Structure 1
């Protein structure tokens, strides 16, 4: 029941977010759009509270009920919004390590009273996975099935997805970067993906020292951006048919693999299955 409520709140928040961001929408005034944006923020806060395993919820059901007369009378509502929140902005996707810089900037802004909420284009919600490459005689293609990822706070991650890339020793892309769709199934300390990712390069064409990277990303409603939480990678000597579990490392993503720090000492990993295709 809680899972259903979470996704209902989340879908409604997304719908309101799209309405607020629509430049072609003339159904609402700018002030009404701002109110809808604040309403969407509250819905996201409630959805995050439903996922929280701690007893203290940041946004209670009683708080949500206070918003009912607002949404019912949005066209005539002219009072102050009952909660001190900012309207939901367009979501920004940050590069690895950039979220640390943004968090530092926010702390500095908080100290000086400065700061504003910019708008940025949102990511494709369905992911950007690509089909398998055409086969070539004597060449091998790799399908990676991302089964699940283990995280101690798995239930609290909003809008989780994984970015998959193939890099050389210098961190240069060797094939197109792909995003999975947002995962919707969470169970205990696991987020389930169960999705196939087709590596966009024949294995024989990859240079020595290449690696496949997996960056786990999730949305932070309080900070209004999508952040890299952790990453994992698989080197060429680990490619073989069948299941494999790989360790998770702390952000920022180190594509050169020189400064690696484990995310946790707990037995939590990224679970994959490998399928090789060779003609």
Structure 2
């Protein structure tokens, strides 16, 4: 019998789950958190569609799975030990996820009240309904979402920036990194709303890979010549329980041309006036972009 789309979907989710718990058991906690967060987003995205095709029982079970993933992320990031969701507890959820479409057992291995306590009282129904609060670290609640492309106008040009990857000596040590994109004039005044990417899609050696498209929310012709687009790499610091800027890059107006771009990376704090710049490293590590111009 041909495998259904839902079966393929659940198989892919279970593969991500196993990848995360494997990293977790090997002590590679940064990688484990990335896999748990990725799986969380994938499940929540699917459940946001009205015609997701899952039964009510499946729907509730997936909500509980996501709550467990969130609780484990919190336990790892805040070093809660046995006071938070343990790896052993999370592993009991794996079988439930693997057998989601075939099992008739409606009992979840972790009791509802225990799950609620592990997530500071957040209900799994909120998770299943697509509530983003708590899906990753607290700093994710403050992020600026990516915006759609503006309508084209006569004799005006729009810019799409594809953020491909950034090179760092300690790329594997960044927890939940994302890139914040802002457009500033020469006096460091905002010209457009800032936007933040999602978590990276992968890590390879010294690179964090995003492959994220950012639609700049202004026509190029309306920007002053002193304008620059800034890219700040931010990451979560569990001990301080806050977001920190790790480094930044920027692109000036004369650098905006269709095709690939490679930007130098500077150490923090971000200098929006571009007066005092210091390279993050002397190694050949850069921010890689691809630019696309749209015009009627």
Which interval holds the TM-score relative to the shorter structure? Answer: 0.5 to 0.7
1:269 equivalent in alignment to 2:286: yes
Query: 1:175–1:66: structure 2 CA closer, same or farther, 3 Å change rule?
Result: closer
Alignment equivalent of 1:4, drawn from 17, 20, 23: 20
* 1:122 paired residue number: 141
Counterparts of 1:186 and 1:250, CA distance in 2: 21
> Aligned residues, how many?
208
Q: Alpha-carbon deviation of 1:158?
A: 1.1
Structure having the higher helix fraction is: 2
Q: Is the 8 Å Cα contact of residues 168 and 207 (structure 1) preserved in structure 2?
A: yes
Secondary structure at 2:20 match in 1: helix
1:221/1:205 Cα in 2 relative to 1: closer, same or farther (>3 Å)? same
Question: Residue 243 in 1 paired to residue 243 in 2?
Answer: no
2:76 counterpart residue number:
43
Partner of 1:154: 171
Normalization by structure 1: what TM-score? 0.62
Q: SS of the counterpart of 1:131?
A: coil
Q: State how far apart, in whole Å, the 1-side matches of 2:292 and 2:39 are.
A: 38
SS in 1 for 2:142: coil
Return 5+ residue gaps in structure 2 as ranges.
1-15, 22-31, 42-69, 91-108, 115-133
Q: Cα gap change, 1:199/1:224 in structure 2, threshold over 3 Å: closer, same or farther?
A: same
Structure 1 residue 223 displacement after superposition:
1.5
Q: Contact 1:13/1:44 (CA < 8 Å) preserved in 2?
A: no
Superposed CA offset, 1:210-233 (max 9, x none): 100000011111211111100000
- 1:44 positional shift: 2.3
Is contact 1:231-1:250 (8 Å) kept? yes
Query: How many angstroms apart in 2 are the aligned matches of 1:76 and 1:135?
Result: 52
CA positional deviation for 1:40? 5.8
- Aligned residue number for residue 226 of structure 1: 243
**Cα distance, 1:4 vs structure 2:** 2.4
CA RMSD of aligned residues (A): 3.8
Deviations 1:1-31 (A, max 9, x none): 99523146668999xxxxxxxxxxxxxxxxx
TM-score (normalised: structure 2): 0.59
Identify the residue that residue 135 of structure 1 maps to in structure 2: 152
Q: Which runs of 5+ in 1 are unaligned?
A: 15-36, 47-58, 78-89, 94-120
Aligned CA distance change for structure 1 residues 241 and 75 (closer, same or farther; 3 Å): closer
Q: Quick check: 1:12–1:40 contact (8 Å CA) kept in 2?
A: no
* Structure 2 residue 269 is matched with structure 1 residue 252: yes
1:55 corresponds in structure 2 to none
Q: Offset of 1:184 from its aligned partner?
A: 3.4
Deviating beyond 2 angstroms after TM superposition, the runs of 4 or more aligned structure 1 residues are 1-5, 7-14, 37-46, 64-68, 72-77, 90-93, 121-124
Out of 208, 212, 220, the residue aligned to residue 191 of structure 1 is 208
Following TM superposition, by how much is the alpha carbon of 1:66 offset from its aligned partner in structure 2, in angstroms?
Answer: 8.9
Distance 1:211 1:185 in 2: 28
Measure, in 2, the Cα distance between the counterparts of 1:151 and 1:267.
10
